[in-house]
A and B are shown apart, each in its own frame.
Chain A
């Protein structure tokens, strides 16, 4: 009996190598997207990290932020139209009809209400974006009313890449543990087919998608977890992967010379700054801080280190976001001026030593800080570079006695609002969370609070407040504004329809064809 079993197993093994076509060869080639980390949180109410690639293809928000701005800031999602009351506190969304969740449940106002209320109730991830909401109601099957305590731009909030997705009520009942087994039920064009933990997520076309399907769109998408940049490069070169996500700037340049590979650069809301600790000597001295802002070689860093991956920053609000002001008066690289400012700062020569913490895995941080260190030493300022993992350097920065004078920071907002940077990084904060400059200026705080109150009703007036606040940050030399980062997609040239949207760190597979 055992012998017969062994024989049958051997027969199967032999057959496996007898030239049978593989499953992949039998059907249409799926789209393969190489991502560098597995999905951590599957629950769309909680997920707030690299999950966005899955979230934005499986789930849909009420409205999508429109790429490249323009007068029309939004594209309808599960809401076809919306309006706001005169006081800016009551928002009415008219919902799309004939929409189904992947589990067959019908999408209606009750489901939308339940989705948002669940996200708010769980209070995890980016749920704080709904903090101003007072009441959510569903007067009929296709109308959703959101009332807020103060005027806030609910349309912008509803277009967030996190915490704003509509979820099937039946799925919500099953709870977070069910989601975290690799399950989900949204209304998006793709449904979750399989999660092979640590290896791959397979998404299949949702046949009943309200948007319908046309020839050429992908029936299946494979999100492969590939942690090594070199492996990703080999995969895209061979055509096994259609998109890769990891390579650093120098590798991207090499890939661009390959005729089969395209590199698309587009707008992003990410930017990088060096936060200057305003409470720790010698950076508690404003002239000394100003000297540092003049000692940063902005041009060389952009050209030689970011290599086309970033643009020069004007203020903390990037050029891709409303509220950006290109007229702000920014410092430029000028070592002579920096030296004069150091000399006139009153900081004794023996005390002209600063420490800088940065994320050790970033080549861009490391190289630009080595350049900075070399320039500062020319004007008599000594520098201690302290690389480390983000968790460690962030923890240290929050406690004044462990904090360094400078810390690197890359920031992006949860939804399209300049106040995310202006509040998160610089408004008075106790205890310190992200205001690692320890900046506290009542005049600045007032400008920001006034701006936030205007956002929902008059964005132009809000922008004026934000411009004044940003100039205050520049004059007080609270940060060195290093660069506005470009969005980037590296993909095989035979893939059509790729477009980058700064609001979503993702590619919408529904728009693609081969």
Chain B
């Protein structure tokens, strides 16, 4: 198992290097220059020339690539052309916002998707099944931007229950600042005992979480249902029932266990996808995460930021896959490296 892990780690390193080189070359091939964006509305020709020299954009592409790879080897992602701050620092701050949103959305999707999927399979072709399938189809079919706006209009516009946008009202934490420990506001506000801030952060999380969760919920629900239906039709379940196994044991122990390995793959993929794919949700709710950062960086041709985010998301995606693969061993002893 250790050698398998090390092999996967080496492969991961090569893929990341490949991603770095590919995205670097692609960024230089794209039209438009970041310098004008960086210098404001009306830069002079001298300012543009000077900025190009400072950023090394006047050097040959091969030399720029060499410098970039060397810099990566030192664990640096460069400086954002748009903000002038280190990309690593920018991503660190924003990644925690995205991670909090995505983790909560995934926990909710799994927490609801799994039991609903089991219920749907157990009640196959009855009203409960139809209802959950309807939820699953809508989750996949309704575009995120539409669902987000709909939720905003209902829970903010009509009912006035939930905030419209942002992660927290700064005014709430002005007089009682929350110290960043984990980067997850819900946890940090709890740790500091700041109830107003906790409530504010929680309420701000509600709508983006719901919006982001629905697509994954639908996938998990559908997959659980289909796999459970297959398993419930097998001989060993029939035998277990004949021996008097309770409904609870049948569904939650005997039938669920063999579905966990493929489900884990789906959950892992969904987590990785959401980390990089929360762009629309974040823009819609002004969530200061990595998705909104990607958009801002792409539209301003901020090369180091775009490359840095791509690299980090690729690394996260690969790491999650690796963790999922390693978990297979724990879940199913029959699997060997």
Chain A window 37-52, contacts with chain B (Cβ cutoff 8 Å), 1 for yes, 0 for no: 0001100000111000
Q: Tell me if B199 and A194 are in contact (CB < 8 A).
A: no
Q: Does B235 contact A (CB under 8 A)?
A: no
Tell me, in angstroms, the Cα distance from A424 to B43 when the chains sit together.
Answer: 11
Q: Enumerate 9 A-B pairs (CB-CB under 8 Å) in ascending A order.
A: A12-B195, A16-B195, A23-B172, A23-B196, A180-B83, A196-B168, A199-B166, A226-B165, A238-B157
Q: Tell me if B171 and A23 are in contact (CB < 8 A).
A: yes
Chain B window 17-43, contacts with chain A (Cβ cutoff 8 Å), 1 for yes, 0 for no: 000000000000001111011011110
Q: Tell me if B172 and A391 are in contact (CB < 8 A).
A: no
Report B337 CB to chain A, min CB distance, Å. 35
Tell me, in angstroms, the Cα distance from A413 to B45 when the chains sit together.
Answer: 17
Q: Does A288 contact B (CB under 8 A)?
A: no
Q: Tell me if B288 and A30 are in contact (CB < 8 A).
A: no
In the complex, how many residues of chain B place their beta carbon closer than 8 angstroms to a beta carbon of chain A?
56
Q: Tell me if A227 and B164 are in contact (CB < 8 A).
A: no
- Nearest residue, chain A, Cβ from B51: A124
Pick from A74-82, A229-237, A335-343, A377-385 the stretch touching chain B: A229-237
Tell me, in angstroms, the Cα distance from A212 to B83 when the chains sit together.
Answer: 35
Q: Tell me if A194 and B190 are in contact (CB < 8 A).
A: no
Report B139 CB to chain A, min CB distance, Å. 22
Residues of chain B contacted by A226 (CB below 8 angstroms): 165, 286
Q: Does A4 contact B (CB under 8 A)?
A: no
Residues of chain B contacted by A13 (CB below 8 angstroms): 190, 195, 198
Given known pairs A16-B195, A22-B200, the reply for A231 and B172 (CB within 8 Å) is no
Residues of chain B contacted by A238 (CB below 8 angstroms): 156-157, 160, 164
Q: Does A202 contact B (CB under 8 A)?
A: yes
A423-480 residues at the B interface, CB under 8 angstroms: 424, 431, 433-434
Chain A window 328-357, contacts with chain B (Cβ cutoff 8 Å), 1 for yes, 0 for no: 000000000000000000000000000000
Residues of chain A contacted by B160 (CB below 8 angstroms): 238
Q: Tell me if A48 and B85 are in contact (CB < 8 A).
A: no
- Nearest residue, chain A, Cβ from B35: A391
Q: Tell me if B172 and A22 are in contact (CB < 8 A).
A: yes
Q: Tell me if B45 and A9 are in contact (CB < 8 A).
A: no
Report B285 CB to chain A, min CB distance, Å. 8
Residues of chain A contacted by B31 (CB below 8 angstroms): 388, 392, 395-396
Tell me, in angstroms, the Cα distance from A399 to B64 when the chains sit together.
Answer: 24
Partner of B152, one of A193, A231, A392: A231
Q: Does A276 contact B (CB under 8 A)?
A: no
A230-248 residues at the B interface, CB under 8 angstroms: 230-231, 234-235, 237-238, 240
- Nearest residue, chain B, Cβ from A223: B170
Listed in ascending order, the chain A residues whose CB lies under 8 Å from chain B are 9, 12-13, 15-17, 20, 22-24, 30, 40-41, 47-49, 123-126, 128, 176, 180, 193-194, 196-200, 202, 220, 222, 224-228, 230-231, 234-235, 237-238, 240, 388-392, 394-396, 414, 424, 431, 433-434
Q: Tell me if A424 and B42 are in contact (CB < 8 A).
A: yes
Q: Tell me if B172 and A24 are in contact (CB < 8 A).
A: yes
Q: Tell me if A194 and B292 are in contact (CB < 8 A).
A: no
Partner of B284, one of A123, A228, A396: A228
Q: Tell me if A391 and B33 are in contact (CB < 8 A).
A: yes
Report A226 CB to chain B, min CB distance, Å. 6
Partner of A433, one of B45, B169, B284, B288: B45
Q: Tell me if B288 and A125 are in contact (CB < 8 A).
A: no
Residues of chain A contacted by B149 (CB below 8 angstroms): 230
Tell me, in angstroms, the Cα distance from A384 to B62 when the chains sit together.
Answer: 36
Partner of A49, one of B41, B156, B193: B41
Partner of A231, one of B164, B167, B195, B200: B164
Closest 3 CB pairs of A and B: A198-B288, A48-B40, A16-B199
Residues of chain B contacted by A196 (CB below 8 angstroms): 168, 170, 288
Residues of chain B contacted by A24 (CB below 8 angstroms): 169, 171-172
Given known pairs A40-B82, A391-B33, the reply for A202 and B172 (CB within 8 Å) is no
Residues of chain A contacted by B284 (CB below 8 angstroms): 228, 231
Q: Does B44 contact A (CB under 8 A)?
A: yes
B36-66 residues at the A interface, CB under 8 angstroms: 36-37, 39-42, 44-45, 47
Given known pairs A16-B195, A238-B160, A392-B31, the reply for A222 and B170 (CB within 8 Å) is yes
Given known pairs A180-B85, A224-B166, the reply for A394 and B172 (CB within 8 Å) is no
Tell me, in angstroms, the Cα distance from A226 to B39 when the chains sit together.
Answer: 23
Q: Tell me if B40 and A197 are in contact (CB < 8 A).
A: no
Residues of chain A contacted by B166 (CB below 8 angstroms): 199-200, 224
B164-193 residues at the A interface, CB under 8 angstroms: 164-172, 174-176, 190-191, 193
Report B31 CB to chain A, min CB distance, Å. 5
- Nearest residue, chain A, Cβ from B293: A198
Tell me, in angstroms, the Cα distance from A408 to B12 when the chains sit together.
Answer: 47
Report B153 CB to chain A, min CB distance, Å. 7
Q: Tell me if B283 and A49 are in contact (CB < 8 A).
A: no
Partner of B174, one of A125, A128, A194: A194
Tell me, in angstroms, the Cα distance from A241 to B193 when the chains sit together.
Answer: 29
Not counting A17-B199, A220-B171, A424-B42, a sample of 11 additional A-B residue pairs whose C-beta atoms are within 8 angstroms of each other reads A30-B171, A41-B40, A41-B84, A49-B40, A176-B84, A180-B83, A196-B288, A202-B171, A227-B286, A231-B284, A391-B34
Q: Tell me if A22 and B199 are in contact (CB < 8 A).
A: yes
Residues of chain B contacted by A198 (CB below 8 angstroms): 94, 286, 288, 292-293
Q: Does B131 contact A (CB under 8 A)?
A: no
Partner of A391, one of B198, B286, B301: B301
Q: Does B273 contact A (CB under 8 A)?
A: no
Residues of chain A contacted by B293 (CB below 8 angstroms): 198
B230-262 residues at the A interface, CB under 8 angstroms: none
Residues of chain A contacted by B169 (CB below 8 angstroms): 23-24, 200
Q: Tell me if A200 and B157 are in contact (CB < 8 A).
A: no
Q: Tell me if A394 and B42 are in contact (CB < 8 A).
A: no
Tell me, in angstroms, the Cα distance from A431 to B165 when the chains sit together.
Answer: 45
Q: Tell me if A199 and B200 are in contact (CB < 8 A).
A: no
Residues of chain A contacted by B292 (CB below 8 angstroms): 198, 227
B118-171 residues at the A interface, CB under 8 angstroms: 149, 152-153, 156-157, 160, 164-171
Q: Does B202 contact A (CB under 8 A)?
A: yes
